[in-house]
Structure 1
């Protein structure tokens, strides 16, 4: 297969943004890099058919969300744990609220986290999320509701006074 400079240009231009998106989906840099790599491999295989389309990034992001959900289905019976580091760790997040939110998001089940990422990070509607994940709108709503309930219980006041009030004001 001959290398297409437009594909290489797309990867060079949008690679960092895709990695950030993967991090928000997966909750850690290693799984994020795996998601990006797998999605870009799929894009490369489909590139001859997609290059006429205006938005290959949409294809990659949809693929990443589906891959993440599929991985969740395969791993949902595994109990994953992280050993604490033996040395100190300097958190680069600006505040306790952001760290608490990140920890709370990482603690959500994969499907719930994906629904929240697609809704609040990507700005997709329930209908669009349902299409991306191949689930019903009702499932999208119930997963979002459960996820927000878990976040409220973990982060508490910060969610009610910070994130949720900001979201309500933007509507």
Structure 2
């Protein structure tokens, strides 16, 4: 088996998880596809070394975070509306919560969004998050603290999503 077959197997096995991660970083399905594709192009060039000496998935996730931050710094031609759609018969509460949460996440800095996604969506520990982002555990803790405070300020209507015990757990 050559390294291209090994890379192909990695992509087939982890594509959905990496795509979800890219989507959570960008907030847009098309941008997530572009992000993942551009990162995988870079990863395939480093594949022989990564598959032999490293952790290819961790490297790919970190590359996704770094690339999304780079893209975030690019000038934007469009800006999404900050107002959620009006409540109507076709939207239930969960759908509106997801829309509001997505919009609030989009207003976080890329690093804050990455920390929130890694900690609470990917369910990584603080140590694993720090390793993925290449920073200290203290930085992860402070970024989580600031990101959650910003989310509470941006979307106070989502406070019901966290129980008291979860708020205490997150505050630690």
Calculate the TM-score normalised by the size of structure 2.
0.74
1:12 maps onto 2:12 in alignment? yes
Aligned length: 161
Pair 113,80 (structure 1): closer, same or farther in 2 beyond 3 Å: farther
Match of 1:167 in 2: 166
1:93, distance to aligned residue in structure 2 (A):
9.3
Indicate the SS of the match to 1:81.
coil
Indicate the SS of the match to 1:4.
helix
**Residues 120-171 of structure 1 deviation map (CA, whole Å, 9 limit, x = unaligned):** 1222333333333333433322322221112112322433x32354735888
Indicate the SS of the match to 1:135.
coil
Following the alignment from structure 2 to structure 1, what is the Cα–Cα distance between the partners of residues 22 and 42?
15
Indicate the SS of the match to 1:52.
helix
Following the alignment from structure 1 to structure 2, what is the Cα–Cα distance between the partners of residues 21 and 166?
26
Following the alignment from structure 1 to structure 2, what is the Cα–Cα distance between the partners of residues 91 and 55?
42
Following the alignment from structure 1 to structure 2, what is the Cα–Cα distance between the partners of residues 111 and 80?
21
Residues 65 and 132, structure 1, Cα contact 8 Å, conserved in 2? no
1:23, distance to aligned residue in structure 2 (A):
0.3
Match of 1:81 in 2: 79
**Residues 63-92 of structure 1 deviation map (CA, whole Å, 9 limit, x = unaligned):** 2122223333x33x7685148xxxxxx879
Following the alignment from structure 1 to structure 2, what is the Cα–Cα distance between the partners of residues 81 and 5?
41
Pair 54,141 (structure 1): closer, same or farther in 2 beyond 3 Å: closer
**Structural RMSD (CA):** 3.2
Match of 2:38 in 1: 38
Match of 1:105 in 2: 105
Match of 2:57 in 1: 57
**Residues 73-114 of structure 1 deviation map (CA, whole Å, 9 limit, x = unaligned):** x33x7685148xxxxxx8799522222111211222212111
Runs of 4+ in 1 over 6 A off after TM superposition: 90-93
**Residues 37-73 of structure 1 deviation map (CA, whole Å, 9 limit, x = unaligned):** 122112211111222368532221122122223333x
Following the alignment from structure 1 to structure 2, what is the Cα–Cα distance between the partners of residues 125 and 71?
26
Indicate the SS of the match to 1:95.
helix
Following the alignment from structure 2 to structure 1, what is the Cα–Cα distance between the partners of residues 104 and 59?
28
Which consecutive unaligned segments of at least 5 residues does structure 2 have? 82-89
